[in-house]
């Protein structure tokens, strides 16, 4: 039937819930005859356009206000375009996705376990996690179950995780990962509070933007951590080379905070042989030279709204 329509010149578009149209399953039925496109919620630019706030004349303060609104509300179109209650919509969407795309599809008996795990992960976005630790604080009582449930959440596009960088693949596989949510609004609907940690929501926005590049095959994405537990949020590889190191900090007005963030970038730069260093923040836009133990690097400080536009 599909072949006949294609021979007649028709273009076919199939869309729907992950419960029925997961790309891996669709590929089995349409081998060689389809291209899968993964649609994320609105990007920041799309959010501005839908809100009527995309004017080039807007001040930096107005752009910061829009960024904070986007960081808290997320990018799902329905609440924005139809002016419906955002929290109710996203809470219902999250529950529907959990039950239709995961519980029903994978025949999960411990519904409370997958709910607890989802709420825990979405309340801890931009944080490192281990399977052992997660199994201890949720009703998923085994590491195997936690690992399996997280894979289900990945397949349903509710969350994704990135590995800690290592030059050795075996080491990388055994290390902790960091968790992110595909939309900030979903994380808020699960209980994450904007006022509690604006930095984590900012970091989640960057993670989603970079994840889109990774899905498109342009980059590979990691985070870096030193033996002293200093961290760089994103290591961006292009091919075999580390191309960029990106740090996200919502407020660098405190000199001690700025020094800490730049020091981590310089240390990672030395270890990973990368000189393109970026520190995303709420408002500062300049390039600074920073020296640590004889190593001097130029670090680009950029407002997050500018990076996302």
Tens digit of each residue's pLDDT (9 = 90 or more) over 218-256: 999 999 999 899 999 999 999 999 999 999 999 999 999
State residue 297 phi and psi, 5-degree precision.
Answer: -140, 145
Residue at 55 is within a domain: yes
Residue 159, strand partner residues: 181
> Taking residues 39-43, what's their average pLDDT?
94
Residue 261's pLDDT is 98
In terms of domains, do 31 and 49 share one?
Answer: no
Q: How many domains are contained in the chain?
A: 3
| Confidence class for position 11, pLDDT limits 50, 70, 90 | confident
Could you tell me whether strands 277-281 and 241-248 are parallel, antiparallel, or unpaired per DSSP bridges? Answer: parallel
Residue 226 lies in a domain: yes
β-pair partners for 235: 222, 245
Query: Residue 26's pLDDT is what?
Result: 60
Q: Do residues 265 and 290 share a domain?
A: yes
The confidence band for 284, taking pLDDT boundaries of 50, 70 and 90, is very high
* Rounded mean pLDDT, 139-164: 93
> Who wins on pLDDT, 301 or 132?
301
Count CB-CB contacts under 10 A for residue 277: 24
In this structure, are 204 and 260 located in the same domain? no
Contact assessment for residue 190 and residue 119, using Cβ atoms and an 8 Å cutoff: yes
> Which string of b and e fits 57-90 if b means at least 16 CB within 10 Å?
eeeeeebeebbbebbbbbbbeebbeeeeebeebb
Question: Does the residue 122 lie in any domain?
Answer: yes
Q: Does residue 191 share a domain with residue 49? A: yes
If asked whether residues 29 and 160 sit together in one domain, one would say no
Q: Give the pLDDT band (50/70/90) at residue 18.
A: low
Residues 116 and 204 in one domain: yes
169 & 184 share domain = yes
Q: How confident is the model over 64-100, as pLDDT tens digits? A: 999 999 999 999 999 999 989 999 999 999 999 999 9
116 and 255 share one domain: no
Lowest mean pLDDT among 5-14, 99-108, 117-126, 275-284: 5-14
Domain containing 14 equals 1-37
128 in the same domain as 255: no
pLDDT bin (cut points 50, 70, 90) of residue 27 is: low
Q: Is residue 213 part of a domain?
A: no
73 with 189, same domain: the answer is: yes
Q: Does the residue 214 lie in any domain?
A: no
Q: What percent of the chain has pLDDT over 70?
A: 90
33 and 50 in a single domain? The answer is no
Which among 204, 161, 178 is positioned nearest to 304, based on CA atoms?
Answer: 204
C-alpha span between 162 and 223 (Å, rounded): 7
């Amino acid at each position: 039937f599909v072949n006949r329509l294609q021979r007649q010149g028709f273009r076919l578009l199939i869309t729907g819930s992950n419960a029925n149209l997961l790309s891996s399953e669709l590929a089995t039925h349409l081998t060689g005859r389809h291209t899968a496109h993964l649609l994320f919620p609105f990007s920041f630019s799309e959010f501005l356009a839908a809100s009527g706030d995309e004017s080039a004349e807007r001040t930096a303060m107005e752009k910061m206000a829009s960024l904070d609104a986007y960081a808290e509300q997320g990018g799902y179109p329905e609440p924005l375009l139809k002016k419906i209650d955002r929290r109710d919509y996203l809470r219902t969407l999250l529950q529907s996705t959990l039950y239709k795309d995961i519980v029903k599809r994978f025949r999960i008996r411990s519904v409370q376990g997958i709910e607890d795990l989802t709420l825990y992960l979405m309340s801890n976005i931009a944080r490192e996690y281990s399977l052992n630790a997660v199994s201890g604080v949720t009703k998923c009582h085994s590491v195997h179950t936690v690992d399996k449930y997280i894979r289900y959440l990945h397949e349903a596009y509710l969350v994704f995780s990135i590995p800690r960088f290592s030059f050795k693949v075996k080491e990388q596989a055994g290390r902790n990962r960091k968790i992110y949510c595909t939309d900030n609004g979903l994380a808020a609907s699960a209980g994450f509070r904007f006022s509690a940690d604006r930095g984590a929501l900012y970091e989640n926005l960057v993670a989603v933007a970079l994840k889109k590049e990774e899905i498109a095959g342009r980059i590979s994405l990691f985070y870096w951590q030193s033996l002293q537990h200093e961290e760089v949020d994103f290591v961006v590889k292009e091919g075999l080379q580390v191309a960029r190191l990106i740090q996200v900090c919502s407020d660098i007005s405190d000199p001690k905070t700025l020094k800490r963030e730049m020091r981590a970038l310089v240390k990672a730069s030395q270890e990973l042989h990368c000189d393109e260093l970026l520190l995303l923040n709420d408002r500062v836009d300049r390039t600074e030279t920073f020296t640590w133990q004889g190593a001097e690097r130029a670090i680009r400080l950029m407002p997050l709204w500018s990076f996302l536009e």
